[in-house]
Chains A and B, each alone.
Chain A
């Protein structure tokens, strides 16, 4: 990877107008050097202000920085230039979904799949969004190419940006969560199940959810009132709560936030960080005292933390 970056840097230095800036920015992004990737992408786009691939790459970089408004803007500009740009459509679907606009994400991803029916990533993302919306079938038969129909996997992660290879980097210092997330996705694809991290806990797969700070489900699960799995939708929304809590704690000089407890009409929710980059939600009936729900969450937190450490070992 470093050699690629060196080679691409040399090409760009020799010809600053080269479109290779996209490849260089992408390589830097994958390496996790998001600041440098951003500089390269912006530099290239200053010379090529109508370059859809450049804006698509810029969108992924912003998403990696957890700056979804800018990511969305970048993908929007890519689509203004090239309305059928697959990467930008998938990216926009991801951004809309993360923003809680599952209907908007659905429309964009359907457009992506209509234009690129063989794209497996768009199909999986579309399936996830449909499930989150409670649609009966995760993937409509018409969306499945005949030769791939048997391989359509059930997964419970939010739609990922453009491709597995270009999923925005997890927060620095959280490789275990990324690895666990990948393992969870693989497990989901293979057996339609997430890792049994919370085995033995009440509501292990319906009321306890482990996810990462980008809103990707890692383990556990969350069922909706009608029995539909809402893990992906909840993880996407709760990741936003986590970043808001971090911002609030920082501005008010409260130190690191340790838990958020929400007493709601039908349930009590406890949200807690589990090491860098991972979050835990425990949902308990409204009748369960808040103090008890907090203690349950502490136990689940310790279990999740130990599991993540094992994934990292």
Chain B
């Protein structure tokens, strides 16, 4: 992992409630770089996040909303955050349900820029 990407993931992971974050190839859901708690299945998170992002991208186009810049899925026991990044990557973060989404978003956008 390049130092820039490592630093970017580290910043995200310092947000309270974040269980892990990673760079994922948008096309095939393969993990490119990751920083996760041991309990998090990185491959599963990556594959599912990429698939969800594709679905939402298609649906957003159908609604006329245009290209998706940030995606947040809230669930009872966790939050999945996805930010598209350059070079066909996604920045993906798995966090607790009450995580500070605004702070996560800020760090994820920085991480997306770091991938350029």
Inter-subunit contact B64/A244 (CB<8 Å):
no
**Interface segment, A138-146, A178-186, A250-258?**
A250-258
Whether A254 pairs with B58 at a CB distance below 8 angstroms is no
A257 to B79, CA, bound (A): 9
Residues on A with C-beta less than 8 A from B56 are: 241, 260, 262
Q: Are A265 and B69 in contact (CB under 8 A)?
A: yes
Quick one: CB contact mask for A224-242 with B, threshold 8 Å, 1 for yes?
Answer: 1100001001101110110
Question: What is the bound-complex CA distance between A262 and B72, given in angstroms?
Answer: 6
Q: Which residues of B contact A249 (CB under 8 A)?
A: 73, 75, 78
Contact indicator B72/A261 (Cβ below 8 Å) = yes
**What does the 1/0 interface line of B33-67 toward A look like (CB < 8 Å)?**
00000000100110011011001101110111111
Check B76 against A263 for contact (C-beta < 8 Å): no
User: Are A265 and B78 in contact (CB-based, < 8 A)?
Assistant: no
The answer to whether A252 and B62 have CB atoms under 8 Å apart is: no
- Least Cβ–Cβ distance between B83 and chain A, in angstroms: 9
Asked if A244 meets B63 with Cβ closer than 8 Å, knowing A252-B45, A258-B76, the reply is no
Write the nearest CB–CB distance from A106 to chain B, whole angstroms.
Answer: 15
The answer to whether A252 and B48 touch (CB under 8 A), given A241-B56, A241-B59, is yes
Contacts of A255 on B, CB cut-off 8 Å? 75-78
With a cutoff of 8 Å between Cβ atoms, the chain A residues found around residue B99 in the complex are none
User: A150 to chain B: which residues have CB within 8 Å?
Assistant: none
Are A269 and B48 in contact, CB atoms less than 8 angstroms apart? Answer: no
Q: Are A263 and B75 closer than 8 Å at their CB atoms? A: no
B20 to chain A, nearest CB (A): 11
Are A256 and B76 within 8 A (Cβ)? Answer: yes
A263 to B81, CA, bound (A): 11
0/1 string, A266-294, CB within 8 A of B gives 1? 11110000000000010100000000000
In angstroms, Cα B107 to Cα A235, docked, is 32
A237 contacts B58, C-beta separation under 8 Å: yes
Check B30 for interface membership: any CB of A closer than 8 A.
no
- B6 CB to closest chain A CB, in angstroms? 24
Q: B67: nearest residue on chain A (CB-CB)?
A: A265
Contacts of A230 in B (CB 8 A): 62-64
Q: Is B68 an interface residue (CB 8 A)?
A: yes
CB-defined contacts of B91 to chain A, threshold 8 Å? none
B4 within 8 A of A: no
In the complex, how many residues of chain B place their beta carbon closer than 8 angstroms to a beta carbon of chain A?
Answer: 32
Q: A237-B58, A247-B48, A251-B48 are in contact. Are A264 and B65 (CB under 8 A)?
A: yes
Is B80 an interface position by the 8 A CB rule?
Answer: yes
| A269 contact from B63, B76, B79, Cβ within 8 A | B63
Contact of A225 with B62 at beta-carbon distance under 8 Å, contacts A255-B76, A255-B78 already known: no
Given contacts A241-B55, A251-B44, contact A264 B67 (CB under 8 A): yes
Contact of B66 among A234, A248, A267 (CB under 8 A): A267
B18 interfacial contact with A, CB 8 Å? no
Does A245 belong to the interface (CB within 8 Å)? yes
The winner among B64, B78, B94 for most chain A CB atoms within 10 A is B64
Task: List the A side residues contacting B67 at CB < 8 Å.
Answer: 264-265
Q: How far is the CA of A223 from the CA of B65 in the complex (A)?
A: 11
C-alpha spacing A234/B94, complex, angstroms: 27
Residue A222 CB within 8 A of the other chain: yes
- Minimum CB–CB distance from B109 to chain A (whole Å) comes to 11
Cross-chain contact of B65 among A233, A236, A245, A266 (Cβ < 8 A):
A266
Q: Are A267 and B80 in contact (CB under 8 A)?
A: no
Distance in angstroms between the alpha carbons of A251 and B41 in the assembled complex = 10
What is the minimal beta-carbon distance from A184 to any residue of chain B, in angstroms? 19
- Closest 9 A/B residue pairs (Cβ): A255-B76, A265-B66, A254-B75, A237-B59, A264-B65, A255-B77, A254-B78, A267-B65, A266-B66
Q: Footprint of B on A, CB under 8 Å?
A: 100, 222-225, 230, 233-234, 236-238, 240-241, 244-245, 247-249, 251-269, 281, 283
